[in-house]
Amino acid sequence: MTNTIPNVSERIIELLEAEGVNTLFGIPDPGFARMHRAAADRGWQVIAPHHESAGAFMADALSRMTGRIQVIVGNQGPGVANLVPAAICAAKEHIPVLFLAGQRHRMLDAQVRRNKFQYTPQPRFFEAAMKYVGVIEFPDQVDEVLHEAFRQAMTGTPGPVYVEFPQDHVNTPVDLGPAAPPERYRLVHQKADPDAIEAAADLLASAQCPILFPGTGVHTSRGHDALERLADVLQCPVIPSWGGLGVLPISHPQVLPYSVGPAVDAVAESDVVLAVGTAIGEPLHYGTGRHWAKGNTDRRWIHIERDPGAIGVNRSIDIPLVGDLRDVMPQLTEALERRKSFQAPAKLAEWRAGFEAFAMEMVLSAPDTAPVHPGRMVFEATQVLPEDAIMVRDGGCTSLWAGLYSAHASRDILWTSKFGHLGVGLPYAIGAQLAVGSERRVCLITGDSAFQFHISELETAVRKNLPIVCIVNSDAAWGMELGVFAGAFGMDRDVEVKWGDVRFDEIAEGYGAHGEFVDRTADVAPAVERALASGRPAVVQVAVDPAVNAFHAPLIEEFATWYTGGYSA
Which pLDDT belongs to residue 96? Answer: 98
Q: 486 pLDDT band (50/70/90 cuts)?
A: confident
* Residue 57 vs residues 212, 257, 381, 423, 434: alpha-carbon distances, Å: 30, 27, 25, 9, 13
Q: Give the distance, in angstroms, between the CA of residue 373 and the centroid of all CA atoms in the same chain.
A: 27
d(CA 125, CA 159): 16
d(CA 415, CA 394): 6
Which pLDDT belongs to residue 566? Answer: 56
Q: What is the DSSP letter of 10?
A: H
194-351, what's its fold? Answer: Rossmann fold (3.40.50)
Greater model confidence, 350 or 167: 350
Contact criterion met (CB below 8 Å) for 116 and 107: no
**Per-domain residue ranges for the chain?**
8-184, 194-351, 366-561
Q: 183 pLDDT band (50/70/90 cuts)?
A: very high
State pLDDT tens for residues 407-466: 888 889 999 999 999 999 999 999 999 999 999 999 999 999 999 999 999 999 999 999
Biggest distance spanned by C-alpha atoms of the chain? 74
Q: Give the distance, in angstroms, between the CA of residue 548 and the centroid of all CA atoms in the same chain.
A: 27
d(CA 227, CA 417): 20
* Residue 128 vs residues 133, 161, 292: alpha-carbon distances, Å: 10, 11, 33
Complete edge-to-edge strand list for the sheet that includes strand 442-447: 413-414, 390-394, 442-447, 469-474, 538-543, 514-518
Residue 439 burial (10 A CB sphere; 0-12, 13-18, 19+): exposed
Neighbours of 113 (CB within 10 A): 8
Contact criterion met (CB below 8 Å) for 136 and 163: yes
User: What's the CATH number for 366-561?
Assistant: 3.40.50.970
Q: What residues contact 42, with CB distance under 8 A and at least 6 apart?
A: 1, 13, 17, 22
Whether omega before 554 lies within 30 degrees of 0, making that bond cis, reads no
Which pLDDT belongs to residue 216? Answer: 96
State pLDDT tens for residues 256-315: 999 998 999 999 999 999 999 999 999 999 999 999 999 999 999 999 999 999 999 999
d(CA 33, CA 170): 9
Q: 3 pLDDT band (50/70/90 cuts)?
A: low
Q: Which run of H or E residues covers position 567? A: none
State pLDDT tens for residues 121-171: 899 999 999 999 999 999 999 999 999 999 999 999 999 999 999 888 888
- Neighbouring C-alpha atoms within 13 Å toward the C-beta of 28: 12
Which pLDDT belongs to residue 529? Answer: 98
State pLDDT tens for residues 493-543: 989 999 988 999 999 999 999 999 999 999 999 999 999 999 999 999 999
Q: Which run of H or E residues covers position 24? A: strand 23-25
d(CA 373, CA 375): 6
Contact criterion met (CB below 8 Å) for 150 and 19: yes
Q: 1 pLDDT band (50/70/90 cuts)?
A: very low
Please tell me the pTM assigned to this model.
0.96
The yes-or-no verdict on residue 568 having pLDDT over 80 is no
d(CA 406, CA 376): 9
Contact criterion met (CB below 8 Å) for 89 and 60: yes
Q: 556 pLDDT band (50/70/90 cuts)?
A: confident
End-to-end CA distance of the chain: 61
Which pLDDT belongs to residue 439? Answer: 96
State pLDDT tens for residues 23-54: 999 999 888 999 999 999 999 999 999 999 99
Q: Which run of H or E residues covers position 194? A: helix 194-206
State pLDDT tens for residues 218-254: 999 999 999 999 999 999 999 999 999 999 999 999 9
Mean pLDDT of 321-341: 96
Q: Which residues of 335-366 are buried (b: 16+ CB within 10 A; e: fewer)?
A: bbeeeeebeebeebeebbebbeebbeebbeeb
Strands (E) across 170-299 are located at: 210-214, 272-276
Phi, psi values for residue 401, rounded to 5°: -60, -45
Indicate if the alpha-carbon torsion angle 487, 493, 497, 499 is positive or negative. Answer: positive
State pLDDT tens for residues 62-94: 999 999 999 999 999 999 999 999 999 999 999
Q: 108 pLDDT band (50/70/90 cuts)?
A: confident
Q: Which CATH number fits domain 8-184: 3.40.50.970, 3.90.1150.10, 3.30.70.260, 3.40.640.10?
A: 3.40.50.970
Decide if 194-351 and 366-561 have a common fold.
Answer: yes
Of 438, 466, 534, 391, nearest to 49 by C-alpha is 466
The yes-or-no verdict on residue 473 having pLDDT over 60 is yes
Q: What residues contact 123, with CB distance under 8 A and at least 6 apart?
A: 133, 135, 162, 164
Which pLDDT belongs to residue 4? Answer: 86
SS3 406: coil
Share of the chain residues as helix, strand and coil, in percent rounded to the nearest 5: 45, 15, 40
Of 4, 21, 2, 1, nearest to 435 by C-alpha is 21
Mean pLDDT of the chain: 94
